[in-house]
């Protein structure tokens, strides 16, 4: 008997083909670019053995109850897993696959792009060039902050954090600081990064870049307390999860000159409403959560998520399984 699998979105076809050609499952898919309505999702997961989902789907008690006891595997096409109620999932003996590693380079690359766009004021500069603000070459105009000789603070020295450090090193960064739950001397040695408490990192960094997972410990981690410790010339970059930053405090920090600028690939909520005050600020660059968005990376993520799901259905070890 074929396992029932639900795929909650249109994803790169390579992954779906793998499921369809596996001979072990019958696939139903929400084959649209927009999010599946919650009621449809709850209906479709009923009786499913496997669920292929994205970070936009809340996999909580309600959904797990709607799915029922058949559900054995959840495979999320993301490295982040804050959208999964892991306690509830574990209780039910469900296995979870995710997609670390394959998106590390794309995410690090976008982090650097966002950092440069923010610190060198690219969005403002492009607008000025177009709208007539470019009167002449002006020594004091459109000046930002460069990486050369700077101190970069990495919050969360995991796969992505260290990759960002490696990418930034050739720009002439003087010093890397990092914070994490515990020192990671072997990884840190790759960029001679120094382990410091979070407040010291905030005080001393010219650039702070966030790469921690969203957990109860990191929710609202970056708040007014830390903004008040940062340099007035500092730039904050977030490509992790929006909720790691207290957005009201960020708005305050940006409008009162506590920090120079911020670049956010992630926000609360997503999408951020177009009339949100952060969008009115010249020193805030906001991207629509695109860090892993290269064609190659999204294809690899889809294939990995499919392989995780198939392995789970077969009762075999997954290529990338989350330890619960
Ligand atoms: C993207 O945010 C991901 O978690 O993969
Ligand atoms: C800039 O274009 C310079 O020549 O200094």
The answer to whether 114 touches 302, Cβ cutoff 8 Å, is: no
Q: How far is the CA of 195 from the centre of ligand 2 (A)?
A: 39
Ligand 1 pocket at CB < 6 A: 55, 78-80, 103, 292
245 within 8 A of 222, measured Cβ to Cβ: yes
Give the residue from 155, 239, 240 showing the smallest Cα distance to 193. Answer: 155
Mean pLDDT within 288-302: 98
pLDDT value of position 234: 98
Is 211 tagged catalytic? Answer: no
Q: What average pLDDT does the structure give for the chain?
A: 98
Q: Angle between the 295-314 and 104-119 helix axes, to the nearest 10 degrees?
A: 140
Tell me which ligand sits closest to the C-alpha of residue 104: 1
- Helical ranges in the chain per DSSP H: 13-21, 38-45, 61-67, 86-91, 104-119, 122-131, 159-168, 185-188, 198-204, 224-229, 247-255, 295-314
- Name the closest ligand to CA 291: 1
User: pLDDT for 26-76, tens place per residue?
Assistant: 999 999 999 999 999 999 999 999 999 999 999 999 999 999 999 999 999
What is the model's pLDDT at position 40? 98
Residue nearest to atom 4 of ligand 1 (CA): 80
| CA 139 / ligand 2 centre spacing (Å) | 10
Query: pTM, whole model, 2 decimals?
Result: 0.96
How does pLDDT run across 203-241, given as a tens digit for each residue?
999 999 999 999 999 999 999 999 999 999 999 999 999
Using one digit for the tens of pLDDT, what is the confidence trace for 116-155?
999 999 999 999 999 999 999 999 999 999 999 999 999 9
Instruction: Examine the predicted complex and report whether its ipTM is higher than 0.85.
Output: no
**Predicted local distance difference test score (pLDDT) of residue 233:** 98
Q: Whose CA is nearest to atom 3 of ligand 1?
A: 78
Q: What are the CB-based long-range contacts (under 8 Å, 24+) for 37-40?
A: none
How much distance in Å is there from the Cα of 139 to the middle of ligand 1?
40
């Amino acid at each position: 008997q074929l396992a029932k699998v639900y795929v909650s979105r249109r994803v790169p076809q390579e992954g779906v083909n793998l499921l369809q050609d596996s001979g072990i499952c019958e696939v139903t898919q929400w084959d649209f670019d927009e999010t599946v309505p919650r009621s449809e999702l709850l209906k479709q997961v009923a009786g499913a053995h496997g669920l292929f989902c994205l970070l936009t789907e809340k996999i909580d008690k309600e959904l797990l109850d709607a799915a029922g006891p058949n559900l054995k595997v959840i495979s999320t096409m993301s490295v982040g897993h804050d959208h999964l109620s892991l306690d509830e999932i574990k209780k039910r003996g469900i296995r979870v696959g995710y997609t670390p590693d394959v998106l590390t380079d794309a995410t690090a690359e976008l982090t650097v792009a966002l950092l440069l766009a923010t610190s060198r004021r690219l969005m403002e500069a492009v607008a000025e060039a177009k709208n007539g603000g470019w009167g002449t070459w002006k020594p004091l105009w459109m000046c930002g902050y460069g990486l050369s000789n700077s101190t970069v603070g990495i919050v969360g020295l995991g796969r992505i954090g260290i990759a960002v450090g490696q990418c930034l090193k050739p720009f002439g960064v003087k010093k890397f600081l990092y914070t994490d739950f515990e020192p990671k001397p072997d990884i840190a040695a790759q960029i001679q990064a120094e382990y410091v408490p979070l407040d010291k990192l905030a005080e001393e960094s010219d650039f702070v870049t966030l790469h921690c997972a969203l957990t109860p410990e990191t929710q609202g981690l970056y708040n007014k307390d830390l903004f008040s410790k940062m340099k007035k010339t500092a730039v904050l970059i977030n490509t992790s999860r929006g909720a790691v930053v207290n957005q009201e405090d960020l708005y305050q920090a940006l409008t009162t000159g506590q920090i120079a600028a911020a670049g956010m690939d992630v926000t609360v909520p997503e999408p951020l409403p177009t009339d949100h005050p952060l969008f009115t600020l010249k020193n805030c660059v906001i991207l629509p959560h695109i860090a892993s968005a290269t064609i190659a990376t999204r294809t690899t993520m889809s294939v990995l998520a499919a392989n995780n799901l198939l392995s789970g259905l077969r009762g075999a070890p997954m290529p990338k399984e989350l330890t619960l």
